[in-house]
Structure 1
Amino acid sequence: MNGIENYLGFLLAGIIMNLTPGADSIYIITRSIAQGKKAGIYSVLGIGSGAIVHIVLAAFGLSAVLAKSIILFNIVKWAGATYLIYLGIKMLMDKSDLFDKEKTEFDKVSVKKIYRQGFLTNVLNPKVAIFFLSLLPQFIKPEYVNSSIPFLILGGTFLFTGTVWCLFLAYSASFMTDTFRKNDRIGKIMKKVSGFVFIGLGLQLLIKRN
């Protein structure tokens, strides 16, 4: 199949990977609970777009450069971690009501902002690039390693299953929003929790070994 071997094995491995909680799923759940279904969906779309970048890079060999260059890896790593910590601090310092109606009625600007944050959260995580570069070749026949087609097919498969799962998370988590909106105190607590979650994700990215 276009240079791919054990496609069903890859599909199973990909689904297991998708179900394993990670930075992306935590980000989506946090956004969905804090700001509702629409915010969760656009977070998913942003993260999915970031994954497409990593898939294309892996398919055309550019991720190999990142994997071999400690300097480039650390630059991207620090950029991604700094961005997550920035989001967390910004949320902690925001004094507005998390569930204020004006905050939950998204316009085009806020939608683009949520999408952009999801995209940057994923694309600035070098661990994702290394993940694709290390997993995909395991299911490609040796004589096809120089072809981009099997990489794109496998990457697209992983992206599809991951997006389905992330949308499920967004829809499920958003149901909690209505309950929280009835209590102002819970809304304030959720904003603080969300801020600490983003900061924690950023610190985790910095602390983890390459």
Structure 2
Amino acid sequence: MLPISQLLLFAFAALLMVLVPGPNMIYLISRSVTQGKKAGLISLAGVACGFLFHITLVSFGLTAVLLAVPFAYTGLKMAGSLYLLYLAWQAVKPGGKGLFDNTRTLAADSPMKLFSMGLFTNMLNPKVAVFYLSFFPQFIKPAYGSVLAQSFMLGITQICVSISVNFIIILFAARVTSWFAANPRWVKTQKWFMAGIFGSLALKMALDKGK
């Protein structure tokens, strides 16, 4: 099983990730601002189920690959490093738009549609699965035991962190939106901060030779 130190490090990394505005946060804030907190929470439930879908696929996939191919662990880590460097570039490349420009323009939807949109937006986004495949291998080590159990442990931890943070954001959605609008410099700062996180994780993954 994963040592508690590794799990805490992963939880901290997951916290940093969720604190940086992205598509999920923008969608949840948009729904909360236009339809209220209940709509935001229903949407969050859908997003969480979408994460669970990807985590299940990635967990079984990692287990199959690492057990079947002796050198897959190293190859997967190196591929993950390159992808994280790509994400770092995406975070700081020129030409980005304002993150919260359209948070007040969504039409009202039924609870079922809110849940479905959150669910399928995540399920049909291949970048979510690719991100997990890039992120998990630097914390999973076959020497710790079952790769499947480690994957699910990391996945559940990430979901818990994401739900907790987004729940708070939904409760204060209007204030969060106003704060971002009043602090445009922070948006630029967080892009470089996020790029630094991705770059550090890529370097850590590339240099870690432990199994």
Q: Which TM-score band (shorter chain)? A: 0.5 to 0.7
TM-score (norm 2): 0.58
CA deviation after TM superposition for structure 1 residue 123, in Å: 1.8
1:162-173 map, 5 Å: 162-172=158-168
Unaligned runs of 5+ in 2: 30-43, 107-116
Match of 2:7 among 1, 5, 17: 17
Q: What secondary structure, in the 3-state scheme, does the structure 2 residue paired with 1:21 have?
A: helix
What is the rounded CA distance, in whole Å, between the counterparts of 1:72 and 1:197 in structure 2?
25
One-letter amino acid of the counterpart of residue 63, structure 1: L
Match of 1:134 among 133, 138, 144: 144
Match of 1:27 among 17, 24, 37: 17
Partner of 1:200: 200
What is the rounded CA distance, in whole Å, between the counterparts of 1:105 and 1:192 in structure 2?
28
Q: What secondary structure, in the 3-state scheme, does the structure 1 residue paired with 2:95 have?
A: coil
One-letter amino acid of the counterpart of residue 132, structure 2: N
Unaligned runs of 5+ in 1: 1-9, 138-150
What is the rounded CA distance, in whole Å, between the counterparts of 2:97 and 2:132 in structure 1?
27
CA deviation after TM superposition for structure 1 residue 94, in Å: 3.0
Query: CA 1:204/1:190 → structure 2, altered by over 3 Å: closer, same or farther?
Result: same
Partner of 1:119: 129
Which deviations, in whole Å up to 9, do the C-alpha atoms of 1:186-205 show, x marking residues without a partner?
22212222222222222221
- Does residue 53 of the first structure (1) align with residue 67 of the second (2)? no
Match of 1:63 among 66, 91, 115: 66
- Root mean square deviation, CA, Å: 4.5
Sequence identity percentage:
12
Partner of 1:99: 99
The alignment covers a number of residue pairs equal to: 179
Which deviations, in whole Å up to 9, do the C-alpha atoms of 1:72-93 show, x marking residues without a partner?
2222111111111101112211
What is the rounded CA distance, in whole Å, between the counterparts of 1:74 and 1:104 in structure 2?
45
Q: What secondary structure, in the 3-state scheme, does the structure 2 residue paired with 1:101 have?
A: coil
1:37-48 map, 5 Å: 38=28, 48=52
What is the rounded CA distance, in whole Å, between the counterparts of 2:24 and 2:122 in structure 1?
17
Q: What secondary structure, in the 3-state scheme, does the structure 1 residue paired with 2:185 have?
A: helix
What is the rounded CA distance, in whole Å, between the counterparts of 1:49 and 1:200 in structure 2?
27
TM-score (norm 1): 0.58
